[in-house]
Amino acid sequence: MAQETPPPSGRPLTRGSDPAPAGRTLLDDTAITRALTRIAHEILERNEDASRLYLVAIPNGGVPLARRLAANLSQIADVQVPVGVLDTTLYRDDLMLTGERPLLRATEMPSAVDERVVVLVDDVVKTGRTIRAAMDALMDFGRPRMVQVVGLIDRGHRELPIKLDYVGKNVPTSPRENVCLRGRDGGLEGPLEVALLPADPRGDA
C-alpha cells in the first residue's frame, strides 16, 4: 500500500522490523504468479505495439510486481519493457492533515515518458487517490500517449473516478481493514503474499 505513515523515530527507516501481525492470506505466492502471468497476457492483448510499453511502479508494493511483469512480458513476447519507479508522496492530497510528514521513497525513471503507453503498477487500490497522484506526477515527466493501470488487488471504496484496466483479484473489504503485500520478515524479498489484516485499533493507516 503506497500511502502510509512512517514508523516512529528510533526505528530504522526501512519498513519491516515488526513481527508480522496475524492476518488471513488472500493470495499466496503461487496465486500472485498466476495473476501476473494472466495480466501480462492481457497487457499484450490490449496493446498491439508492445515497444511503446513502459511499466511504472508505485513504491513500495508495485516494485516487485512491475519487475515480475517485465520478466513475464520478456518471456512471452521477447520484448524488453523498461521499469520505472515513481514515488507519489509529494503529490498526495492529504499531507497537510497528518501530524508528521511521511518518508519519501526513491523515484527512478530510466526512460522518457513522452509517447509511451505507461502502465502504472500498484499492489492494492482502494480510494484511487494514489493512482490520481501517480498520474499527476507522471504528467510532470512528460506526455504519455496513454496511461493504463494494473492493480493486483482491487478492494473497492473508491473516492475518485479511477478504474483499473488490469486486476489481479477483486476483494470486498471493510474500509477499516488493511490489505497489504508482503514478503518474508515484513520486507518485499522472495515469495510474496497478500494479507488481509483486521481493523487497526489505532486508526486508519
Partner 1 sequence: MIGSDLLGIENLERSDIERILHTAVHMREVGEREVKKVPTLRGRTIVNLFFESSTRTRASFEIAGKRLSADVVNFSPSTSSMRKAESILDTARTLDAMDPDAVIVRHEVSGVPKCIADVLDAPVINAGDGAHEHPTQALLDLFTVQQEKGRIDGLTVTIVGDILHSRVARSNIYGFLKMGAEVRVAAPPPMIPPAIEELGVKSYTSLREALDGADVVMALRIQSERLAGSYFPSVREYAATFGLDRSKLHYAKEDAIVMHPGPVNRGVELAHDLADHRPSVILDQVRNGVAIRMAVLYLYAGRKRERGQSRSAS
Which residues are at the interface with partner 1 (CB under 8 A)?
8-10, 13, 87, 90-92, 95-96, 99-101, 103-107, 136-137, 140-141
CB burial of 64-103 (b: ≥16 within 10 Å; e: otherwise) equals bbbebbbebbeeeeeeebebbbbbbbebbeeeeeeeeebe
Beta-strand pair 146-154/117-125: parallel
Smallest separation (angstroms) from partner 1 to the CB of 116: 15
Q: Nearer to partner 1 by C-beta: 30 or 98?
A: 98
Grid coordinates 515484513 are at which residue? 186
Smallest separation (angstroms) from partner 1 to the CB of 24: 33
Q: Nearer to partner 1 by C-beta: 11 or 184?
A: 11
N residues, the chain? 205
Q: Nearer to partner 1 by C-beta: 92 or 129?
A: 92
Q: Nearer to partner 1 by C-beta: 95 or 160?
A: 95
- Within 8 A by CB and 6+ apart from 22, the residues are 197, 198
Smallest separation (angstroms) from partner 1 to the CB of 55: 19
Smallest separation (angstroms) from partner 1 to the CB of 88: 10
Asked whether the beta carbons of 37 and 72 are under 8 A apart, the reply is yes
CA–CA separation, 132 vs 125, rounded Å? 11
